[in-house]
């Protein structure tokens, strides 16, 4: 799926479109599994009690409602947040958009970028992700965490910046 065309200029083209790395979804998946196991255990315990039939139904309903609320908060919301976060490089700018209900974002024209760096620790290197650091002409460096294949993105952005500037230092 490409980035929505309605935010691009007439002759602007998307060079790269990424969501954050899938490692951000590890916690929500574990939460889903753990909460489902706990809810199943709770239902099993309630099922084997000698309570009144109506009391058993009410307790099971309470377990289901609590499960749904926690799943929405700890699983669904982070997945929606991950899905609605976009890191996009076009032939003119770098765009970062995030947020589900309230959206925010930043655009950095390629001509204003002074330097591009990346960093990643051991776990990030194993998972092939990292932090991309972009320093523009008028701002403090901006850090974009959990960019998949951060070294390739760094290299691509470096080439795009020099192609935009038309510099003699431009790599081939």
| DSSP per residue, the chain | -PPPGGGS-TT--EEEEEPPPGGGGHHHHHHHHHHHHHHHHHHHHHHTS---HHHHHHHHHHHHHHHHHHHIIIIIHHHHHHHT-EEEEESSEEEEEE-SSS-EEEEEEGGGEEEEEEE--HHHHHHTEEEEEEEETTSPPEEEEEEETHHHHHHHHHHHHHHHHT-TT---
The domain spans of the chain are: 5-19+88-165, 26-81
CATH domain 5-19+88-165 topology: PH-domain like (2.30.29)
Contact 23, 121 (CB under 8 A): no
Q: What is the pTM of this model?
A: 0.82
pLDDT per residue as tens, the chain (172 positions): 456 667 888 888 899 999 999 999 999 999 999 999 999 999 999 999 989 999 999 999 999 999 999 999 999 999 999 999 999 999 999 999 999 999 999 999 998 898 899 999 999 999 999 999 999 877 789 999 999 999 999 999 988 888 776 654 444 4
């Amino acid at each position: 799926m490409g980035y929505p065309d309605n935010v691009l200029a007439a002759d602007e083209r998307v060079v790269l479109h990424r969501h954050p790395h899938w490692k951000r979804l590890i916690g929500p998946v574990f939460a889903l599994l753990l909460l489902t196991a706990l809810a199943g255990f709770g239902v099993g315990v309630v099922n084997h009690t000698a309570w009144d039939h109506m009391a058993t139904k009410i307790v099971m309903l309470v377990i289901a409602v609590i499960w749904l609320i926690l799943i929405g908060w700890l699983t669904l919301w982070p997945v929606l947040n991950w899905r609605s976060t976009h890191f996009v490089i076009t032939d003119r700018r770098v765009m970062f958009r995030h947020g589900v209900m309230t959206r925010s974002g930043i655009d950095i024209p390629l001509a204003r970028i002074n330097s591009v760096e990346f960093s990643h620790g051991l776990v990030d290197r194993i998972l092939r992700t990292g932090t991309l650091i972009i320093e523009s002409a008028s701002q403090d460096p901006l850090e974009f965490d959990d960019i998949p294949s951060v070294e390739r993105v760094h290299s691509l952005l470096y080439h795009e910046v020099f192609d935009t500037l038309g510099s003699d230092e431009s790599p081939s």
